[in-house]
Amino acid sequence: MRNLVRTFLTLSVALPLLAACSGGRLVGNEEYGTDNQRERILRQTGANPTTAGVVVFGVDRSRQQDQAAAGGGGMTVNAFLWRATLDTLAFMPLASADPFGGVVITDWYTPPQAPSERFKATAYVLGRQLRSDGVRVQLFRQVLRNGQWVDAPSSSTTNSELEDRVLARARELRSQSASR
């Protein structure tokens, strides 16, 4: 019996170290069992223990999240997608941003690696919900020929790649917001 315990103990120490090296996923407090009556009741009745109750100190981020998801604060589009779009296109100079219409238009941008090309992006956040078809990005490309910028086709996969980046960032923002 003692040998078994020793083996179990060794595994219990070694495997978390392995987890630390391989980069595991943080287990949320809601994934552990609880003897706390309040939390048990909230879990069983479909309420969220991390957002129930009254905030007496600090910012009630759960309320902010609710408002953001519903496009609160006067916005008519999803706040996570909107913020993610701005974050994603922040490397380009911004020409205009309309939070009510959900439109972001950048100015021309020349990547240092390709000085004879320049890009301009237009992004549309399409609704209040955080969903994968909630954003559209259109990239425009020009190339320098004989000292003149002329229109050129851009790769259609780049548009979807940028949309993926926006969605990933929105998911990240949502996740960070939820874990606070």
Which positions from 13 through 32 interact with another protein, judged by CB under 8 A? 13, 15-16, 18-20, 22-27, 29, 32
Q: Which stretch binds another protein (CB under 8 A): 74-82, 88-96, 97-105, 122-130?
A: 88-96
95 lines the binding site for another protein (CB under 8 A) = no
117 lines the binding site for another protein (CB under 8 A) = yes
Q: Which of 35, 147, 148, 150 binds another protein (CB under 8 A)?
A: 35
Q: How far is the CB of 145 from another protein (least distance, A)?
A: 12
Q: How far is the CB of 128 from another protein (least distance, A)?
A: 22
Q: How many CB atoms lie under 10 A from the CB of residue 100?
A: 9
Q: Which of 72, 143, 144, 149 binds another protein (CB under 8 A)?
A: 143
Cα separation, 126 vs 130, whole angstroms: 10
Q: Which stretch binds another protein (CB under 8 A): 68-76, 94-102, 108-116, 122-130?
A: 108-116
Q: CB-wise, 59 or 150, nearer to another protein?
A: 59
Cα separation, 158 vs 65, whole angstroms: 30
Q: How far is the CB of 179 from another protein (least distance, A)?
A: 6
Q: Which DSSP symbol is given to 109?
A: B
What are the beta bridge partners of residue 124? 103, 136
Residue 145's region, left for phi above 0, alpha for psi from -120 to 50, else beta, is: beta
Q: Is 115 exposed, middle or buried, given 0-12, 13-18 or 19+ CB atoms closer than 10 A?
A: exposed
Residue with the two structure tokens 């069992």: 33
Interacting residues with another protein between 39 and 78 (CB under 8 A): 39, 41-47, 49-50, 52-61
**99: its two tokens:** 């939070």
